[in-house]
Amino acid sequence: MPDIAGDGPEEQPLFSERPDWTDVTPVPQYEGYNPIAPIFYTPQYYFRGIVKTNEKSERVLELTEAIIRLNPAHYSAWQYRYHTLLAIKAPLDAELKLMDSLAVQFLKTYQVWHHRRLILTAIYSPPPSNASGLNDPTATTSSSAKSKPSPESQAAARTELAFITRVLMVDAKNYHTWSYRQWLLAFFDDVHLWEGELGFVERLLEEDVRNNSAWHHRFFVVFGRGQLQGEEDRVAVLKRELSYTKDQIALAPNNASAWNYLRGILERTGTSFSNLRSFVEPYTKTHEDRLGDEEILDLENPAPSAEAELPCVAALEFLADIYEKDAVSKSVEIWKRLANELDTMRKKYWEYRIKEALKDVPVQS
């Protein structure tokens, strides 16, 4: 059995030297023989001791906080902390404040966000009482159990959203953070909160139009949630989204996020790609080719700027997809150009598209 090496730099003379901890028997870890990748760090003897006696008290909060700061991925410490908070009826808003201060440090750790979900749920929608109280109350399908949050909680929701916004300023694409924001919106399910999200996404995209997480969030807000209160007019929604997306494409045409969004909303609403032909065509030409075109200011179809890198591969792909239905030879022409000249990394993909499209074409005898 390997020796546990001496104190690492993170060891505080905390528990072994404190008189208020002398009643706890520190419990060594069971390792057995030749453990895999044993990690030499401060033994969490005291935590195992607490768990053994099932102690739920104030000092447990102090202990679990120390462990979490050392090892934010220590899910048992988080779990035990949560149960302790509930058992001693600790003030949960104070817990949230503590989490705020840890969030930026540990924002890449799943447990920080999971704990936050648990705390929010405990404050605004207490879990069903069950024997062990150990079941996860954030299960999305705990149907009868969850009560609707009260109206006052809108203020709390806004505070939470503001917190998430601050965290996103540190790391604008953090997956956990965005998932948490989406969970929060669904949890409170308040129409005003949903509506505020469009402006939020727009601000983020002003900073970085290629932030795919923001584009994804927009799709979630517009199409992903259940009841679209106040958004019954689907036609108006589609018009608004198309207009917004076209403007962003005009600003920066070589942006896969915007094109994926465009394709996504068309597919989701069952709208034919050919509806966007007049918008897309200018993006498929070079600047020189476009010189011959008439300069018509069309607000519905913003044109590429002079600085845009043309032709735009995504636009050509889009046009080829339009042609695939009834002018497949034109699609083939575009795919060949992409394969051989404009998008050679995906040469085999474009050749595959040609092969697949021609498979369906009836052979003329």
Partner 1 sequence: MSGSELPKLARVAHAGHCNRCLSALPSSHIQIDASRLAIGFYCFGTLDLLGSIYEKTKEIEREGWREWLWHQQTSGIHGTGFKPSSYMTQDRPYGTDPEEYSEYDTPHLIMTYTAILSLAILRDDFEQLDRNGIVRFLQACQREDGSFTSFPNGGESDLRQVYCAFAISSMLDDWSGVDVDRAVSFIQQCSSHEGGYGQQPTGEALGGTTYCALASLYLAPSVSDLHAPNPHVTTDERRRTIRWLLQNQASSGGFSGRTNKDADACYCFWCGASLHILGVGDLVDRTAFLSYLASCQFKFGGIGKAPEDRPDPYHTYLSLAALALFPLEDADPSWKLPRLNALWNTTEDTADWIRQHVPLYTVKAQSPVRK
Residues serving a catalytic function are 108
Question: Which of 12, 16, 22, 31: binder of partner 1 (CB under 8 A)?
Answer: 31
Residue 243 has which token pair? 């207009």
Give yes or no for a cis peptide into 311 (omega within 30° of 0).
yes
- Contact region with partner 1 (CB under 8 A), list: 39-47, 122-130, 187-195, 325-333: 39-47
DSSP conformation letters of 140-184: TT-TTTPPPPPTTHHHHHHHHHHHHHHHHHH-TT-HHHHHHHHHH
- Contact region with partner 1 (CB under 8 A), list: 55-63, 64-72, 150-158, 291-299: 64-72
Q: Which is nearer to partner 1, 141 or 364 (CB)?
A: 141
Q: Which is nearer to partner 1, 59 or 268 (CB)?
A: 268
Q: Which is nearer to partner 1, 211 or 301 (CB)?
A: 211
Residues 6+ apart with CB under 8 A from 282: 290, 293, 301, 303, 304
The site string for partner 1 over 278-317 (x = CB under 8 A, - otherwise) reads: ----------------------------------------
Measure the CA–CA gap between 286 and 156, rounded to whole angstroms: 52
| Residues numbered 129-188 forming contacts with partner 1, rule: CB under 8 A | 132, 134-136, 139-141, 173, 175, 178-179, 182-183, 186
Tell me, by CB under 8 A, how many residues bind partner 1: 76
Residue 210 found at the interface with partner 1 (CB under 8 A): yes
Residue 219 has which token pair? 């799709």
Radius of gyration of the chain (CA): 28
- Contact region with partner 1 (CB under 8 A), list: 86-94, 119-127, 196-204, 341-349: 341-349
Question: Which of 21, 123, 145, 211: binder of partner 1 (CB under 8 A)?
Answer: 211
Question: Which of 170, 329, 352, 361: binder of partner 1 (CB under 8 A)?
Answer: 352
Q: Does residue 167 contact residue 174 with C-beta atoms inside 8 Å? A: yes
Between the alpha carbon of residue 267 and those of residues 167, 198, 218, 238, the distances in Å are 33, 21, 16, 11
How many other C-beta atoms lie within 10 A of the C-beta of residue 345?
6
Question: Which of 121, 153, 245, 255: binder of partner 1 (CB under 8 A)?
Answer: 255
